[in-house]
Amino acid sequence: MPDSLLPEPQADYGILRNYVGGEWRESSGTLRDVVNPATGSVIARVPDSTPAEVDEAVAIAREAFEEWRHVSVVKRTRPFFALKGLLEENRESLARTLVQEMGKTIGDARTEIVRAIEEIEAACAIPTMTRGYHQENIGPSLDLKVTYVPRGVFFMVPSFNFPAMVPLEYLPYAVASGCTYINKPSSRVPITQVRIMELMDECGFPPGVINLVHGGAAVVNALMENPGTEGFSFVGSTPVGAELYARAAALGKRGQAATGAKNHFVVMPDADLDRVVDAAISSFFGAGGQRCLAGSVLVPVGKAYEPLRDRFVESASAMKLGYGLDETVDLGPVVTHRDRDRIRGMIDRAVDEGAVPLLDGRAPKVADWPDGAFIGPTVLDGVTPEMEVAQEEVFGPVAAIIPVDDLNDAYSLIERSRYGHSAMIFTRSGSTAREFESRVEVGNIGINVGVPATQSWATLGGRKESGYGDLRGRGESYLFFTDRKIVAERWD
C-alpha cells in the first residue's frame, strides 16, 4: 500500500486511560490488546478497570448530577454545539482511526462520522423536546403543569460496529436532558470513543457530567449493581441484552437494549434488478455485514430467483478486499480474528447442512495483508429455513439465499424468525409494498431501500428478540432519561 494511505505515523495509541471527573486517569486493571484487524498488529492496550475505579466513577457522576440537573436546559445543550464543530474539524482523522480499530472501509467510516455529527445536531433540540406543557383552567381555578425531570446517572454499553455513532445515539440526549453519563466502550474498539471524549473535554462540560470507563463484563456488572446508577443503554447481541434488561428490571432500574437481527431482503419478479443488485451489495456486505440493518437472507420471489442470483454473485465476486484505508477497497476485515473464525464456523456448518457456496469467502487471499481478519463476500444457495445460517445472526459478509414461490411464502419465512428488526422489499407495485408494510411484524421496513436507516431525530424499531424496552435511542430517548412530573395547582 502506498505510504500516503497509511496512518501518520503507524498507529500506536499506547495504554488507554479512563476519563472520570474531567480528568484522564490511569487504571490499575489488567490490560488487553487492541488489534488492527487488517494488519494483525497491536495498536493500543485497554484496561479492565477495577471495581473501586468503577465505584468512584459512579460516585463522581452522582455528585455532578446534583448540580447539572439544575442547569437550564438551554445551557446544557451549548457544549454540544462546540462538540459538533470539533467533530467536523476532526472527522477525517476520526474516520481513519475508526478504520484502524474496526476494519471498515474509509468510505463507510466517513459516513459514520457524519451520522455521529447528526446525532449531536438532533440532541441540540432537547430544549424543544422537553418543554412540557401548561394547561390552564382544567377545573375551577385549577391548572395542570407537566415537566420532564432528569433521573440521574446512566451508563452505556455500546456495540463494536459503530464506535463513533452508536454512543452518540444516547449520550448527548441523556446529558442534554440533565442526566450524567458513563460510557463503557467495547474493548475491541475503544480508541475512537477515547478520541471523541478528548474532544468533549474541550467543550466546557462540568467535571463528572460525562465519563468513560474501560473494561469488560465485570465492569458492566459493577455499573449495573451500583445503587448510584439509574439505568443502562445497550447495543449488541440478544443474549447479553436480554440478560442485562432482566437484571435491570430486578434492580428497579431502567433498561433499553437494541439487540440481534436476521433481516430478510425480499425481491419481487417486477423489481428493477439493477437497482436491486446495487442495494443488495451494500446491504449484505457494507460495513462487512456487521450492522443490525444488514441484509442477511436474500428472498427472491418466483421468477426473480435465477437472474437475481447470478447477477448478485457476479457483482459480489468483483469486490476488492483489503485494508480499509485504501480508497479502492470495497470490503475490509471483520473486527477481530476471533470473529473471523466464528463466521467461518457458521459457513462450515451451513455447507455441512447442505448449503451450496456460490461464492466462498472463507479463505480469501489478501496479498498485502496476510495477517488480517478477512472474510470474503460469501453467497450460499440451497439454504433451507431450518438451517442455523437462516435462523441465527451471522454478523459478517454472508448472504443466504432462500427462494420462495410467492409473497405469502416470504411472509411465512419472516414470521417464523425469532427476530423482528428489519425487512426489505423491492417491487414496482405500490399495492404490494403497502401490503408488505402492513403485514410484516418488524420494527424497520425498507421499500426499495436496502438499508432502512432512520434519521437521527427519529429512532430505530425492533420487535421480538431484536429489542428490549419500550423507549429506544435517538429522538425519543429523552423520555427514557427523564420522568414526567405532573403538577396540579390551584390559586384562590
Task: From residue 248, give the alpha-carbon distance in Å to each of 40, 181, 230, 468.
Answer: 37, 17, 9, 11
CB contact at 8 A, 103 and 43: no
User: Which three-class secondary structure state does DSSP give residue 364?
Assistant: coil
Distance of CA 222 to the CA centre of its chain: 23
Identity of the residue numbered 382: G
C-alpha closest to that of 223 among 165, 283, 141, 154: 154
Q: How many CB atoms lie within 10 A of CB 470?
A: 9
- The 3-state DSSP class for residue 145 equals strand
CB of 277 closer than 8 Å to CB of 488: no
Catalytic residue of the set 124, 179, 203, 292: 292
C-alpha closest to that of 164 among 188, 146, 185: 185
Query: 446: how many CB neighbours lie within 10 A of its CB?
Result: 22
User: Cell 426473480 sits at which residue?
Assistant: 304
Helix (H, G, I), strand (E, B) or coil at 331: strand
Summarize the chain as % helix, strand, coil (round to 5): 40, 20, 40
Q: How far apart are CA 423 and CA 446, in angstroms?
A: 6
> Which cell goes with 61?
457522576
Which amino acid appears at position 70 of this protein? H
Q: How far is CA 6 from the centre of its chain?
A: 26
Q: Look at residues 90, 94, 87 and name the one whose alpha carbon lies nearest to residue 108.
A: 94
Q: Which three cell numbers stand for residue 473?
A: 435511542
Residue 386 neighbours by CB under 8 Å, 6+ apart: none
Burial code (b: 16+ CB inside 10 Å, e: under 16) for 178-187 equals bbbbbbbbbb
User: Could you give the dihedral angle defined by the CA atoms of residues 103, 106, 110 and 112, in that order, rounded to the nearest 10 degrees?
Assistant: -20
Q: Residue 263 CB: number of other CB atoms within 10 A?
A: 29
Concerning whether 179 is annotated as a catalytic residue, the answer is no
Are 169 and 473 spatial neighbours (Cβ–Cβ below 8 Å)? yes
Catalogue the active-site residues: 292
